[in-house]
Amino acid sequence: MIDVNELRSGVTFLLDDDLYKVVEYSHHKPGRGKATIRTKVRNMRTGSLIEKSFTSGDRVQDVRLDYRTVQYLYREDNLFYFMDTETFEQPALNADVLGDDVNYLKENLEAKLTLFGSEPIDLELPTTVDLEVVESEMAVKGDTATGANKSVTVETGASVTVPLFVNVGDVIRIDTRNGNYVTRV
């Protein structure tokens, strides 16, 4: 058991037989009385976001998680299949659990899979991925006092805001934490 005051972003815990991961965390201490810990948590099995509040002194069940290096293989309907690089097993994750990470999955991409027992529950992507631009808006230079941007679509279908000099066919590096353009490769 862990105290709710130890909850931070990224911590995974068990509550009412459901597995949650803290996405946002805030601690509120009124003038008198106990502190309130407000969290936004993701249900690791369904992918839904829920807001939960705890009072100081509450406890939640901590969990033991295992991590494996996996390689992305393919998508079939709503399931994304990966291959464990050591055992060659092929676990699958639902698109709801992956969330926005599906925008950065490219064949043969290596990532870190989080397992609860033998159940795959989460995927940690590398900090940056390199993707090819397949569609681009027309860029018009001119009425800009500072750096101008345009929107492009990459090979996975994600839309990214980039500088005007990026063209179709260019490979760009994207930060997977926030979806921002980093550099042209």
pLDDT band at residue 81 under the 50/70/90 scheme: very high
Please say if the pLDDT value at position 42 is more than 80: yes
Give pLDDT, residue 141.
64
The Cα–Cα gap between 110 and 85 comes to 9
pLDDT tens track for 4-28: 888 888 888 988 888 898 889 898 8
Domain 66-124 and domain 128-184 have a common topology: yes
Class of domain 2-62: mainly beta
pLDDT of residue 144: 61
What is the model's pLDDT at position 122? 85
Burial class (CB in 10 A: 0-12, 13-18, 19+), 169: exposed
Which pLDDT score is estimated for 46? Answer: 79
pLDDT of residue 111: 93
Take residue 158 and report the two structure tokens written for it.
């994600």
CATH architecture of 66-124: Beta Barrel (2.40)
In SS3 terms, the chain reads as CEEHHHCCCCCEEEECCEEEEEEEEEEECCCCCCCEEEEEEEECCCCCEEEEEEECCCEEEECCCEEEEEEEEEEECCEEEEEECCCCCCCEEEHHHHHHHHHHCCCCCEEEEEEECCEEEEEECCCEEEEEEEEECCCCCCCCCCCCEEEEEECCCCEEEEECCCCCCCEEEEECCCCCEEEEC
Fold of 128-184: OB fold (Dihydrolipoamide Acetyltransferase, E2P) (2.40.50)
Give pLDDT, residue 142: 62
pLDDT digits (tens, 9 = 90+) for 135-176: 988 766 665 666 788 889 999 888 999 988 888 999 999 998
pLDDT in tens, 111-137: 999 888 888 888 899 999 999 999 988
Domain residue limits, the chain: 2-62, 66-124, 128-184
Predicted pLDDT at 98 = 83
Measuring CA to CA, which residue among 127, 125, 130 is closest to residue 173? 130
